Amino acid sequence: MAVDGSAVRSVDRAAALLLALGDHQGAAGVSELARRLGLHKSTASRLLATLERRGLVEQDGETGKYRLGLVVIRLAEHAERTLDLRAIGLPELERLARRVHETAGLAVADGGELVCVAQVDGPNLVAVGDWTGRRGPLHALAAGKVILAARPERDLARLVRQGLTAFTERTLVRLEPLLEDLARTRRRGYATAFGEYERGLNSIAAPVRDARGQVIAAVQIWGPAFRISLRRVPELAAAVRETAEAISRRLGADGLSGEG
């Protein structure tokens, strides 16, 4: 798909305006920002108006000057949490991957989907590919089930009403079977998904909690069914839970494990 050069310039200029406001002490006026960035005042004004509509900047009603908006602050907080979680989680994932000889990952929920924020591959010849940054369904992966298990039943009912995709014949798409599976996840402290997203791909996951005891992420191991087998579930589930609890402790969740 061809990219419009003027659109790219507009995005670049809008980003420059955000960075300039971030570097500025307090609010800044349109003329000042335009002069600093070498833009026409009308161009700067148009871009700032667009950014304001998206909540990325705010205009002071009295002075007419602009400052960063609350959306930028929320994005920064989300990015900081994710980066902190990744930095804390990677050493533990490396230990887990070496211990079980499987791919280990750390995933969070974002916009109704699962996102892998960190991955460490085990020493196997048959790899599962790099899932870092990749999105997946909450209901068909073990890490997603761990996150869903911490949510109120009404939220799960709404999710099912919206319609869940059946990726394989094993995917849970009806409310009662899904609720039963999530209740089992809460009781035993880990989730499994065997062939529910892709045939022959199995996963096991456990919850990561913050200092308030809330589930904010999941540690997951996944791989081909001939390696992640039913026979290995007790061994692998114990290892995943220990890793998730180690990360949780580093986030301030001492003594918080098991049922959510």
Structure tokens at 220: 């997951």
Which pLDDT score, from 0 to 100, does residue 1 have?
47
Please tell me the predicted confidence (pLDDT) of residue 211: 78
- Structural domains in the chain, sorted by start: 5-68 (1.10.10.10), 74-250 (3.30.450.40)
Which stretch of DSSP H or E encloses residue 81?
helix 70-100
> Do 80 and 88 contact (CB within 8 A), yes or no?
no
For residues 39 and 10, the answer to whether their CB atoms sit within 8 Å is no
Edge-first strand order for the sheet with 103-110 is: 135-136, 113-120, 103-110, 215-224, 201-209, 191-194
Q: Give dist(CA 110, CA 23) in Å, integer.
A: 28
pLDDT, residue 26, reads 79
Question: What's the pLDDT at 130?
Answer: 80
Rounded average pLDDT per 10-residue block, the chain, 260 residues: 70 92 85 93 94 92 90 72 79 95 93 90 70 89 97 93 95 96 97 96 95 91 93 96 94 58
* 3-state SS class at 186: helix
In angstroms, the first-to-last Cα distance of the chain is 45
Cα angle, residue 77 at apex, residues 73 and 79 outer, rounded to 5°: 115
Helix (H) or strand (E) holding 103: strand 103-110
For residue 197, give the amino acid letter: Y
Q: Is 207 helix (H, G, I), strand (E, B) or coil?
A: strand
pLDDT digits 0-9 by tens, 3-20:
567 788 889 999 999 999
Can you tell me which residue has the tokens 């050493």?
91
